[in-house]
Structure 1
Amino acid sequence: MDDVNLWTEAAHAERYLQIAYRIPRREEGEASLLECVPTRTRRILDLGSGEGRLIGLLLDHLPEATGIAVDFSDTMLDRLHARFGNDPRVTVVRHDLDAPLPDLGAFDAIVSSFAIHHLVDDRKRALYREIHDRLLPGGVFLNLEHVASATPALHQWFLGALGVAPEDDDPSNKLTPVETQLQWLRAIGFVEVDCHWKWRELALLAAVKAP
């Protein structure tokens, strides 16, 4: 698979922002993610934060928590700074997930929303290991993700639901089946690994670092 990633291009990021809040059933997935975050959570890492939608929801849900929002797109970083520049609970960090995670400390929860699928599979697996290493015992990893359909026809069905023509399918997407990713997480040593919500190619993958 070609390692194409258009997210360095401002126009590509802006096109996503125009449709991001109209993705079907997205709010269901986000609600499921919030249900999985322990109330004791105080430190959150959001990988591929985009404009800050998910970290914003989490901090509204857990007002005593703090978060680190990570992204590498200039467009998204500008949005993050504009949104959270006066919020002492949020630290914005520039980082490309294609590179190993920097040392940002340990976390009660590491989350991501529609970002990790832009990585090739070897890098996804390496990132999952890095996430495991950076979680506190009992910490949760929650990935609201774009995953592969079982067949090409089902993929076309999903694109149709989004109003995306086949020729406009994002070449940055490197989709991996749910069960493949769950197997990776189990092999790394995560426990309580499961898919807690799914609609077509959108899924919530969840895992816990053993206490």
Structure 2
Amino acid sequence: MVNLWSSAEHALRYLSMADAIPHRTEGEGVLLEHVPKTVERILDLGTGSGRLLSLLKIDRPHAQSIALDFSPTMLEAARTQFAGDDSVRVAAHNLDDPLPSMGRFDAVVSSFAIHHLTHARKRSLYSEIFDVLEPGGIFCNLEHVASPNAKVHARFRAAIGISEQPEDPSNQLLDVETQLQWLREIGFEDVDCYWKWLELALLIGVK
């Protein structure tokens, strides 16, 4: 018998039905395509419930991973998600502060977390990520980014069903172009926006 749950594609198909954010699994799928299955160490910044790292681990079960978050609720969910998996260490850390000493990584990933930081902290964090990557390592940031104007922003809010809700004050959105330029200035190569739908974007750079 073939167990389809060993396939990231099958897991993403299921999540696409269960997930409330339109097109999110498309971006996750592109991210999974670009993280080599041979990576040995993964750092997940702002892991939340561990959703993205869980997807990565489907095809990379032996990768040693560290999942950081500062929310006690999210940390509890992540610890439940990875209970019994000795290859994953869930740790509390606020991304407003410099990254702790954790060694080097083959991949650093983040999903809808870095946009909560000030713009200055975003840039300094990108530099820290570059420093902790092994040569040839990859940084993938599936992120909530700024729209080019208010009309497109309103279209995004309508598309995800929050038109009537107040703006989230914790969001500090920044345009794609500025962030890509920062990554290039820091020293990343192959920098580009590899996927985008309205205010959701996947930014990738390689050390």
Task: Answer whether TM exceeds 0.5 for this pair.
Answer: yes
Partner residue of 2:167? 169
Please tell me whether residue 73 in structure 1 is matched to residue 71 in structure 2: yes
The 5 A counterparts of 1:60-99 are 60-99=58-97
Q: Number of aligned pairs?
A: 190
Secondary structure at the counterpart of residue 97 of structure 2: coil
Partner residue of 2:98? 100
Partner residue of 2:123? 125
Please tell me whether residue 59 in structure 1 is matched to residue 41 in structure 2: no
| Structure 2 residue identity aligned to 1:168 | P
Is there any run of 5+ residues in structure 2 with no aligned partner, and where?
Answer: 1-17
Secondary structure at the counterpart of residue 55 of structure 2: helix
On the 8 A contact 1:117/1:174 being kept in 2, the answer is yes
1:22-62 deviation per Cα after TM superposition (whole angstroms, max 9, x unaligned): 10000100000001112221100000000000000001121
Secondary structure at the counterpart of residue 134 of structure 2: strand
CA RMSD of aligned residues (A): 1.1
How far off is 1:89 after superposition? 1.2
How far off is 1:170 after superposition? 1.1
151, 154, 157: which one pairs with 1:153?
A: 151
* 121-130 or 162-171: bigger deviation: 162-171
1:142-185 deviation per Cα after TM superposition (whole angstroms, max 9, x unaligned): 00000000001100100000110254221110000001000000
Partner residue of 1:26? 24
Q: What TM-score results when the alignment is normalised by the length of structure 2? A: 0.90
| Structure 2 residue identity aligned to 1:47 | L
* 106-115 or 81-90: bigger deviation: 81-90
Partner residue of 1:140? 138
198, 202, 205: which one pairs with 1:204?
A: 202
Identity in percent: 58
| Structure 1 residue identity aligned to 2:130 | H
Change in 2 beyond 3 A, CA 1:68/1:178: same
RCO higher in structure (CA 8 A, sep ≥6): 1
Partner residue of 1:47? 45
On the 8 A contact 1:59/1:66 being kept in 2, the answer is no
| Structure 2 residue identity aligned to 1:172 | S
94, 104, 109: which one pairs with 1:111?
A: 109
CA distance in 1, matches of 2:67, 2:116: 17
